[in-house]
Amino acid sequence: MSNDSSESAKDSSGNSPALSAGVTYREFEGDSEPQLATRGTPVYGERTEGEWRLWDPRRSKVGAMYEKGLDLRLDGGEKVLYLGAASGTTASHVADFARCVYAVEFAARPVRDLVGVADGRSNLFPLLEDVRTPASYAHVVEPVDALIQDVATRGQAQVARANRRFLADDGVLIMAIKARSEDVTRDPADVFESVLADLREAYEILDTERLEPFHDDHLAVVARPR
Amino acid sequence: MTDGSSAEERGWFEGLTRGDLDGARDAIETGTAERPADWPEQAIEAGFADDEADYYDALGEATRHAAREGAAERELSDDQQLIHAIRAMDDAERTANELAEQVAEWAGSRFEDVDAGIEGARAITEREPHSPGDERVTDLAARVVDLDAEATRLRAFTERTAGSVAPNLAALAGPVLAARLIALAGGLKTLARKPSGTLQVLGAEEALFAHLRGQATSPKHGVIYTHEYVRGTRPEERGSAARALAGKLSIAARIDHYSGDRRPELEDELDARIERIRTRGES
Ligand SMILES: C[S@@+](CC[C@H](N)C(=O)[O-])C[C@H]1O[C@@H](n2cnc3c(N)ncnc32)[C@H](O)[C@@H]1O
């Protein structure tokens, strides 16, 4: 299981100390190196090894965060609010190790797939709602331990701040900021700075990490509420 | 049940019968609350669920039903609404122009200084009618002005709807052309499935019939010809520009249909392609 790639988050034990329970590196046939994986029903044609399903960091920002060695402060078993679930690729992996996942997505087309993913997962709750109007789903969503946000829309800091109300005081915000969604013409580093400044109004930033080479011009942020 | 909590703090399950999925969908879609609360606990206290696991079963069933039905309804309605809107807009504009022509001709036989077009009709509505015949003409002119105003409102509605049904396509093509392409294909889904070569000539069918009726020359492009990137490119390079534009529009339509994610970089890529096409061979 050991490998000595310095780029990689996993160390001699094969697993990063930052990995949550239920997230691990497994050997998959055809790969020389162990790959990130969770245990659950496969959903998008990903490779499997027994009960384990490969979690491709190229297709998932949270997967890339683990791959980059970020400590997401998740032990497994959390209640999660996931903003920008799209077809549920990442949300399905999170549901594999979380107590439950409330998955909000406002585009009708991906929600159809998201419902398909939720059909096989009793702890994944799809919500066809707009993340900019939390009051439209606060009558369904309970307070959570983790807020995961990947909305790729302008105003990403405002979305995180507006949804602060769902997060327990000792909870964690895990967010992918996409620079291009805020402003295509500005330098991504500048965009990240202004989004972070806005975020600090409601959160204390614990860690940040660029997601290259998995996702260009994306910044991962781990934060806790103020 | 939940003493002391205000009316807006009611959970989605309040007053619902277990198993009433349509009622649950309605409660999820229309309900609101300012803040979240320990809904599982409250649902158990209210007798809606036996324990947390039972509550999650009910919530799972309800949210899947609501999301599935809501998404299907929205998908179906949004692009069909857009198609109705652009057709009505075209009809209203065309009819207003045809009637304006009729008004100008008739009014010209009765009044001095009559101008053609919608503005001409608007001026006629200000004239004092002196006979039943005058009155028919000024009334008809008023209908032209009303119809033109409705066409403008339909255009605004079409633009708004196109932007929400197909944000990437609307950004690249402009909302009206995006709506025309969706209407010609019969829907966003069918448009997303067409190869870009087909998209490139969509709308040329009509021009082809016009050509066969002897009213037009043979078509070289479909409706995408109205895009500045085709029309504004010099004739020798127009084919390349149309191909490049159609290629990006079909990618945009696919993203809109399959993910809904906004991709501003598509515009940059298209701009760069057209720039290259337009400058090659120069110097
Ligand atoms: C990058 S995708 C998310 C991908 C997903 N997190 C994954 O890894 O599987 C961003 C999603 O956010 C959604 N989104 C953007 N603005 C939104 C809003 N205001 N409310 C709800 N969803 C939104 C988009 O429709 C899109 O599906």
Model pLDDT for residues A196-206, shown as the tens digit of each residue: 999 999 999 99
pLDDT band at residue A179, thresholds of 50, 70 and 90? very high
Cβ atoms within 10 Å of B201's Cβ, excluding its own = 19
Kindly report the average pLDDT of chain B as a whole number: 90
pLDDT band at B2 (very low <50, low <70, confident <90, very high): very low
Q: Which residue of B has its CA nearest to A113?
A: B68
* A153, A161, A211: residue to mutate for ligand 1 pocket, most atoms within 8 A of CB: A153
Predicted confidence at residue A11, as pLDDT, reads 45
Task: Write out the DSSP string of chain A.
Answer: -----TTSS--TTSS-TTPPTTEEEE--TT-SS-EEEEES---SS--EETTEEE--TTT-HHHHHHHTT------SS-EEEEE--TTSHHHHHHHHHSSEEEEEE--HHHHHHHHHHHHT-TTEEEEE--TT-GGGTTTTPPPEEEEEE---SS-HHHHHHHGGGGEEEEEEEEEEEEHHHH-SSS-HHHHHHHHHHHHTTTEEEEEEEE-TTTSTTEEEEEEEE-
Comparing B194 with B67, the larger pLDDT belongs to: B67
pLDDT at B18: 94
Residue A16 is predicted with a pLDDT of 57
Distance B262 CA to ligand 1 centre (A): 9
Can you give the pLDDT at residue B281? 67
Rg of chain B over CA atoms, in angstroms?
27
Residue A72: the pLDDT is: 96
> What is the percent of chain B with per-residue pLDDT over 90, rounded to a whole number?
73
What pLDDT is stored for residue A17 in this prediction?
A: 57
Whether A55 is in the pocket of ligand 1, judged by its Cβ within 6 Å, is no
- For A155, residues 6+ apart whose C-beta sits below 8 A from its C-beta are A132, A182
pLDDT band at B47 (very low <50, low <70, confident <90, very high): very high
Q: How far is B113 from chain A (nearest CA, A)?
A: 53
Stretch A215-221: mean pLDDT: 97
User: How many separate helices (H) and strands (E) can be counted in chain B?
Assistant: 13, 0
Q: Say which of A125, A128, A143 has its CB closest to residue B70.
A: A128
- Tell which wins on pLDDT, A60 or A184: A60
Which value does ipTM take for this structure? 0.90
In this prediction, residue A21 carries a pLDDT of 85
Mean pLDDT computed over B154-168? 93
Question: Which amino acid belongs to residue B267?
Answer: E
A115: closest chain B residue by CA = B64
How much is the pLDDT for A120?
87
Q: Give the mean model confidence (pLDDT) for residues A15-30.
A: 82
Confidence of residue A116 (pLDDT cuts 50, 70, 90): very high
Question: What is the pTM assigned to this prediction?
Answer: 0.65
**pLDDT value, residue A3:** 42
pLDDT at A153: 85
Does the structure show a pLDDT above 90 at A19? no
pLDDT higher than threshold 90 for residue B280 = no
Q: Decide if A98 contacts A123 (C-beta within 8 A).
A: yes
User: Does position A94 have pLDDT exceeding 50, yes or no?
Assistant: yes
Predicted confidence at residue A178, as pLDDT, reads: 95
* The pLDDT value given to residue A64: 97
Averaged pLDDT for residues A39-66:
95
- Interval B226-245 mean pLDDT: 93
Note whether A108 and B78 are within 8 A (CB): yes
How far apart CA B268 and CA A159 sit, in angstroms, is: 26
More confident residue, B210 or B81: B81
Of B212 and A154, more confident: A154
